[in-house]
Chains A and B, each alone.
Chain A
Amino acid sequence: MIRVLAILFGTLLTVLTAWALGAILFRKLALKLHRAEERLLSFVVGSALLSAIVFAICAVRVVHRGVFLVIGLAIIGYAVYSGALRASGDSFAPLPRLWLWVFLVAMTAFSYLAFFHAMMPEDSPDGMAYHLGNVLKYQQAHGFFRITDDMYANLSEGVEMLFLYAFDFGRHSAATLVHFTFLVVLALLILSYGRRIGRPAVGVAAAIFTYAAPIVYFDASMAYIDVALAAVLFAGFYLLQIWDENCDPRLFIPIGILAGFAYAVKYTAFLAVPYAIGFIAWKLWRKRQPVLRPVAVVALLAAVFVLPWMVKNWIEVANPISPLANRIFTNPYIHISFEDNWRRYLSMYDLTSRWQIPLQVTVQGDHVEGLLGPLFLLTPLALLALRFRAGRQLLLAAALFASTYFGNIGTRFLIPVVPFVSLALALAVADFPALLLALVAFHAITCWPSVIQLYCAPGAWRLERVSVRTALRLRPEETYLNQNPDYRMARLIDGVVPRADKVFGVSQTGQSYTTRDELVGYESASNEVLQDILWTPVIREFQPTRKLAFQFARHAIRKLRVVQTANAPMDQWSISELRVFDGAMELPRDSAWRLTAHPNPWEVQLAFDNSPVTRWRTWQPAGPGMYVEVDFARMQTVDGVVVETSSDAANTKIIAEGLDANGQWITLSDHPVESVNPIHTSLRRAAAAELKARGIRYVLMKPENPGADDLRRYTEAWGMKVAGVVDAQRLYFIP
């Protein structure tokens, strides 16, 4: 019971603090809104303000329960004292009786699902891994600290700041319930919008279209952020529509806040800023009114919410929009190949054609992580709403916010568009109430979990069942979570791994349930190097089996370069070892030497460490002009260079160049002799030793990870020991 109270307290404190903050702002601005609008919009705007406050608290590293409690109580207390929580506007006209009952019945039914699922112990893939994984890290460290090995920590985390506030009191489920609150607020905002445009039935229908969409209520009942983003974008749109009606310049403040907060919630919502600015500029320009000042106010306020995330990234990982744009903001923390591969995957998942998307995101849902429900197959009908002014506004916003969708075709990434499409669709058939009612009934029935399973593809990601007993902790939390091997592995790690040690794994796991630092293979450049080391013994193409030997007349040179001359878009270029010879003797690697490379200078030492399991890689397609360079710091006679490389770069071509006494680069040889490079060492032992030298004493392998079978069969040959087993997951220890 105490656990449930803690969850509810964490949620309520966060929600009330956010609401109070927004209400105080709205009261100061004396905005003229309907009562319901004032309450709902003040929560969303207040969430932006609370998120910014928590960001500041993290930045100065004073994240403590007491700090949050004092701030929360002070804000709520002031709001109560000042009367800000008492909405002052008019009420909407009552809903027609039929639509009121439709709304109440549908909302109650789907709220039952979403609320109790949100209350259940959090075990969603991304929620338990990184949304709350990073929240736990900030809580443990009392704020931000420099994270360079987890690209998820580089994404904007506006909603995670709210999660942190709730998490500090009620742990995982409190954070999830905060997300659920955004769903309720979003549905009520949609309803309000319908009432504002004089179409209450449209508001009811669209609210249910959105609320009952399987991916929407499922997402909202986990520690994800997509529904919160949808609420922020819709609230911003709503405020712009109100401003368009009443031209109240005070609305620029909440509009600017929400435009910036949209970016702070998720990068893909950056379009909220140009949308808000463009909307205001266009409307003012058409009215022949001054544009610059209002636009500047909105832009500046948006910047207040955008820039902290950019500056944080700039300071921590030298890239304001990490993990994107790494070709522009070159940095050692994210490899360009990761970004390329990630984009490529997210733009198609494992679909064979984009024509599969409509059916996937509405009915099937197995390849795109969820479904919206078959109703949304009617989305083209929403174009009929173009005959209304509101319809045109809704469809413009929908088109704009959907324009980033093909960057990630997961159904979740359509959630921010769903409210706009729902309203437009309802508006399109608004003149036929019976049809609208039928659509609502059809959607509600087809989106109920037991019905979904009749038509969705097997394995579609969806809410399958809710356990009220588990949600209310009448069944122990541990009992429920123990069904999840990622959770059990997280607990095992906490029990086995010393606090200072790190665990390396190929794929993410339940990081929010362990206080140990887990490095995941794809999540940073340094982790990808660890993964390359781990995979070299088991993937033959990674091994330094090719020797390219340059022989040339003896030259005195100051610098030596091996330069790539081929354009090989499908290959990366790599060098396991670069050895320089003078006669029969390899030149010992002198501490005065200075090594560099282009690209990726930061990993050049991997080509000079005498390890067969490490290699310098371009981590982007090989192209002419790329090089690895040795500056001898003095004139040095050389007559040979040997490059040990792997067979996964077969389409690359290299030459050897030297910088002579005149400061001229001369070609020493452009014809390396290729031969097989025999490997006489145990690559497995070398890999384990290298991981250990890099501070990794524990390796977590899931059965689907490349190399998992090899490690299991030949544990002794790797020089490792099994530290623990959870189902087919194994934790290895490097003694």
Chain B
Amino acid sequence: MTRVAAAAVVLLALSACERPPEFYPPPEQRHPAEGVNPGPEAMMVEMDSPDANLSIVKDIYPPGGTSWRWTEQDPTVKVLVLSTDKLKLRIDFAIWDDGFKTTGPVELSFFINDKLLDKVRYTTPGVKHYEKPVPADWLMLDREATLSFHVDKLYVSPRDKKRFGVILTRIGLVP
């Protein structure tokens, strides 16, 4: 009886012997891809995109069924930097005629990762296009960059006291 029990225990122990080893040879070596080029549009946030909310950090109003959105004072977005070489900050926006009558000329300060890139004073209303090269060392490959601008004067709606900056169509980095 004792022998049978002992044999059963040994059998049981052996059945659990398929333990993985604790010493290993070096594995197959990986060769990660050096760069990726998914297209310049990946670094641009279009205000009519259903995914735009994922990139918006603050101060951009929800869409109103248009291809543009109103901003507040410090509209901010995040984009993934897919390359750092010869990139430009590009923003398409408009200054509202009626608002301009109240605010007068407005000054916009443009930031990349909270570093001041540029300041521009706009003395007329209407559609604007802004583009300026970004120093390569301000960006890191495969990391998100924060793009923002500051509107110095806001139009305040007399009806509901809502504050409006500019009408934003797109903002992002382009090669």
Residues of A bordering B, CB below 8 Å? 311, 314-315, 318, 331-332, 537, 540, 589-596, 601-602, 604-605, 608-614, 631, 679-686, 689-690, 693, 709-710, 712-714, 716-717, 719
- Known A612-B32, A679-B141; judge A595-B39 contact (CB<8 A): no
- Does any Cβ of A come within 8 Å of B2's Cβ? no
B16, B25, B33, B39: which contacts A681 (Cβ < 8 A)? Answer: B33
Classify chain B's interface size.
Answer: 20 to 34
Which of B20, B24, B32 has the most C-beta atoms of chain A within 10 angstroms of its own C-beta? B32
**In contact, A608 and B26 (Cβ under 8 angstroms):** yes
CA distance A574 to B22 in the complex (A): 18
B18, B24, B30, B35: which contacts A596 (Cβ < 8 A)? Answer: B24
CA distance A690 to B30 in the complex (A): 8
- Known A601-B22, A712-B54, A716-B38; judge A683-B142 contact (CB<8 A): yes
Q: With contacts A314-B15, A593-B26 known, what are 8 further pairs, Cβ within 8 A?
A: A331-B19, A591-B26, A601-B23, A614-B30, A681-B33, A686-B32, A690-B30, A712-B51
What total of A-B pairs shows CB separation below 8 Å?
A: 107
Residues of B bordering A, CB below 8 Å? 12, 15-16, 18-20, 22-36, 38-39, 42, 51, 54-55, 80, 82, 141-143
CA distance A631 to B25 in the complex (A): 10
How far apart are A154's CB and chain B's nearest CB, in angstroms?
A: 14
**In contact, B142 and A609 (Cβ under 8 angstroms):** no
B143 contacts which chain A residues (CB < 8 A)? 540
CA distance A719 to B37 in the complex (A): 10
CA distance A693 to B26 in the complex (A): 16
How far apart are B55's CB and chain A's nearest CB, in angstroms?
A: 7
**In contact, B20 and A595 (Cβ under 8 angstroms):** no
**In contact, B29 and A589 (Cβ under 8 angstroms):** yes
The list of the 10 closest CB pairs from A to B, nearest first, reads A589-B26, A716-B38, A681-B32, A611-B30, A601-B22, A605-B27, A686-B32, A682-B36, A594-B23, A610-B29
B19 contacts which chain A residues (CB < 8 A)? 318, 331
A608 contacts which chain B residues (CB < 8 A)? 26-27
How far apart are B1's CB and chain A's nearest CB, in angstroms?
A: 14
**In contact, A591 and B80 (Cβ under 8 angstroms):** no
**In contact, B24 and A714 (Cβ under 8 angstroms):** no
Across the interface, name the chain A residue whose C-beta is closest to B80. A714
**In contact, A713 and B27 (Cβ under 8 angstroms):** no
Across the interface, name the chain B residue whose C-beta is closest to A307. B12
How far apart are B25's CB and chain A's nearest CB, in angstroms?
A: 5
How far apart are B69's CB and chain A's nearest CB, in angstroms?
A: 18
**In contact, B24 and A595 (Cβ under 8 angstroms):** yes
CA distance A680 to B31 in the complex (A): 12
**In contact, A713 and B80 (Cβ under 8 angstroms):** yes
A331, A592, A604: which contacts B24 (Cβ < 8 A)? Answer: A604
**In contact, A685 and B54 (Cβ under 8 angstroms):** no
CA distance A717 to B42 in the complex (A): 8
CA distance A614 to B30 in the complex (A): 10
- Known A315-B16, A709-B54, A713-B51; judge A682-B32 contact (CB<8 A): yes
Across the interface, name the chain A residue whose C-beta is closest to B143. A540
**In contact, A689 and B36 (Cβ under 8 angstroms):** no
- Known A684-B36, A713-B80, A717-B82; judge A609-B23 contact (CB<8 A): no
Which of B12, B18, B25 has the most C-beta atoms of chain A within 10 angstroms of its own C-beta? B25
How far apart are A680's CB and chain B's nearest CB, in angstroms?
A: 7
A609 contacts which chain B residues (CB < 8 A)? 26-30
B12 contacts which chain A residues (CB < 8 A)? 311, 314
A681 contacts which chain B residues (CB < 8 A)? 32-34
**In contact, A682 and B35 (Cβ under 8 angstroms):** yes
- Known A680-B141, A682-B36, A684-B36; judge A714-B27 contact (CB<8 A): no
